[in-house]
């Protein structure tokens, strides 16, 4: 008799086989709920047993001694960040180094993606103290909420002026650039007035990968600790299903690439330019990336001390304890 696992996920395309049941397990009856906003704390949720979880917020739980959530190093969202910095089409800024002394908007200070983007800037000599930062909503459609998350500092890290949408502030010249993982509505129209800050962000991402050896992870899978204690095998089972769903979806994307012009070319480039296993799950495969992220959180003042990968992930994707846990 399979046990029921209530799982909250965003609409990642490669989860489609799992959601539709094309990938399944005789041991698990997975009830996937598609969510637009991440569950803030699955350990306190009555609705879910596991959920897609922010990497940065998970690290905060661990350093706070909150062990109600067990994170596994299966990074359901990962991607390069150089493409996530936008500016206006008429801006003279074309390099990250030119952002020194400029006004930069972020959609959330502690967000994992924005932490990685600041890490990319720091590699170009622009640290937190070298720019003026504003946290706010991207567009009018986004809610007004606290995006400073306790990290505001007058004169350095502030809320967006008047809580106005940052795309409006960028258009008016009150911001020089915005960090955003998701492009605003209308961005892909030729008349949007916006562009990626780096004209060849792909080349920058290639250089970054050559230097660090990984594609940054933003979101992972978090389980309620009590659920794992009752069903210790569930970590390995769900992680394997997620990996299989990714494999099935990639195969289908390659077969049906004509749904988007030039997609076949993109798939060919990705396959030839990134090594096999670049998106592998597991502690060993991702240990350096995990360590670097913890280091960035500490260097950027988000974590009060440096945490080890083993502290962050006591369990691997096979359900076994990591070496120092």
From first to last of the 325 residues of the chain, give the pLDDT tens digit.
899 999 999 999 999 999 999 999 999 999 999 999 999 999 999 999 999 999 999 999 999 999 999 999 999 999 999 999 999 999 999 999 999 999 999 999 999 999 999 999 999 999 999 999 999 999 999 999 999 999 999 999 999 999 999 999 999 999 999 999 999 988 988 788 999 999 999 999 999 999 999 999 999 999 999 999 999 999 999 999 999 999 999 999 999 988 889 999 999 999 999 999 999 999 999 999 999 999 999 999 999 999 999 999 999 999 999 975 4
Q: What is the CATH number of the domain that holds 227?
A: 3.40.190.10
Identify the DSSP state of 320.
P
Burial of 255 (0-12, 13-18, 19+ CB in 10 A): exposed
The CA–CA distances, whole Å, from 187 to 78, 89, 184, 203, 222 equal: 22, 11, 6, 22, 32
Indicate if 150 and 178 belong to the same structural domain.
yes
In this structure, are 199 and 292 located in the same domain? no
Residue 320 lies in a domain: no
State residue 87's pLDDT score.
98
Q: Is residue 300, in this structure, part of any structural domain at all?
A: yes
Predicted pLDDT of residue 1: 86
Q: Using DSSP, state whether 75 is helix, strand or coil.
A: strand
Domain range holding 152? Answer: 85-212
| Plot region of 163 (φ>0 → left; ψ -120 to 50 → alpha; else → beta) | left
Answer yes or no: do 45 and 151 share one domain.
no
Residues 159 and 228 in one domain: no
Domain-ending residue, one of 193, 212, 231: 212
CA 241 remoteness from chain centre:
20
**Does 234 lie in the same domain as 261?**
yes
Distance separating alpha carbons of residues 295 and 283, to the nearest angstrom: 17
Neighbour count for residue 199 (Cβ, 10 Å)? 11
**């990705």: which residue's tokens?**
270
Residues 107 and 196 in one domain: yes
Residue 279 CB neighbours (<10 A): 17
Structure tokens of 292?
A: 């670097």
Structure tokens given for 238: 């769900």
- Count structural domains, the chain: 2
**Residue 171 lies inside a defined structural domain of this protein:** yes
Contact, 310 vs 324, CB < 8 A?
A: yes
Residues 196 and 241 in one domain: no
- Statement to judge: residues 74 and 98 lie in one domain: no
Give, in degrees to the nearest 5, the angle at Cα 316 between 49 and 243.
70
Last residue of a domain, one of 169, 188, 212: 212
Separation between Cα atoms, residue 139 and residue 137, nearest integer Å: 6
Q: 3-9 and 50-54: which strand pairing?
A: parallel
DSSP secondary structure letters along 2-69: PEEEEEEE---GGGHHHHHTSS-BTTEEEEEEE-SS--S-GGG-SS-SEEEEEHHHHHHHHHTT--SE
Whether 317 maps to a domain, the answer reads no
What is residue 181's DSSP assignment? S
- By the 10 Å C-beta count (0-12 exposed, 13-18 middle, 19+ buried), 64 is classed as exposed
Do 187 and 224 sit in the same domain of this protein?
no
Residue 324 pLDDT: 53
130: domain CATH number?
3.40.190
- The one-character DSSP state at 321 is B
C-beta of residue 193 within 8 angstroms of C-beta of residue 167: no
The model carries a pTM of 0.95
- Give which of 304, 316, 302, 319 is closest to 111, Cα–Cα: 302
Nearest to 48, CA basis, from 220, 223, 218: 223
Domain final position from 169, 193, 212? 212
226 located within any domain: yes
Q: Is residue 116 part of a domain?
A: yes
Does 169 fall in a domain? yes
Q: Please check whether residues 103 and 186 belong to one and the same domain.
A: yes
State whether 291 and 184 are in the same domain: no
Query: Among residues 161, 172, 171, 163, which one has the least CA distance to residue 132?
Result: 161
Task: Specify if 324 maps to a domain.
Answer: no
Quote the pLDDT of residue 10: 95
Q: Within this chain, do residues 305 and 189 fall inside the same structural domain, yes or no?
A: no
DSSP notation for 114-179: HHHHHHHHHHTT--GGGSEEEE--SSTTS-----STT--BTTTEEEPGGG--HHHHHHTTS-SEEE
């Amino acid at each position: 008799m399979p046990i029921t696992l209530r799982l909250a996920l965003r609409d990642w395309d490669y989860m489609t086989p799992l959601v539709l049941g094309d990938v399944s397990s005789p041991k698990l009856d997975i009830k996937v709920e598609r969510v637009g906003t991440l569950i803030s704390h699955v350990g306190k949720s009555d609705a879910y047993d596991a959920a897609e979880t922010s990497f940065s917020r998970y690290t905060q739980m661990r350093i706070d001694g909150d062990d109600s959530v067990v994170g596994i190093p299966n990074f359901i969202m990962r991607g390069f960040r150089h493409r996530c910095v936008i500016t206006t089409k008429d801006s003279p800024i074309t390099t990250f180094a030119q952002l020194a002394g400029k006004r930069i908007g972020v959609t959330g200070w502690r967000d994992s993606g924005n932490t990685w983007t600041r890490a990319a800037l720091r590699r170009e000599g622009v640290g937190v103290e070298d720019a003026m930062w504003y946290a706010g909503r991207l567009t009018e459609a986004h809610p007004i909420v606290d995006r400073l998350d306790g990290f505001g500092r007058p004169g350095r890290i502030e809320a967006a002026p008047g809580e106005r949408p940052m795309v409006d502030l960028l258009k008016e010249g009150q911001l020089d650039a915005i960090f955003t993982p998701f492009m605003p509505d209308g961005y892909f129209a030729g008349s949007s007035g916006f562009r990626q800050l780096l004209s060849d962000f792909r080349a920058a991402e290639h250089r970054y990968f050559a230097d660090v050896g990984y594609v940054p992870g933003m979101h992972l899978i978090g389980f309620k600790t009590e659920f794992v204690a009752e069903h210790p095998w569930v970590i390995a089972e769900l992680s394997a299903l997620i990996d299989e769903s990714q494999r099935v979806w990639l195969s289908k994307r390659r077969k049906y690439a004509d749904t988007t012009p030039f997609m076949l070319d993109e798939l060919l480039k990705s396959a030839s330019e990134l090594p096999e296993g670049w998106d592998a799950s597991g502690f060993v495969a991702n240990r350096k990336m995990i360590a670097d992220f913890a280091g960035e959180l500490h260097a950027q003042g988000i974590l009060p001390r440096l945490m080890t990968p083993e502290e962050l992930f006591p369990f691997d994707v096979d359900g076994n304890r990591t070496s120092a846990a």
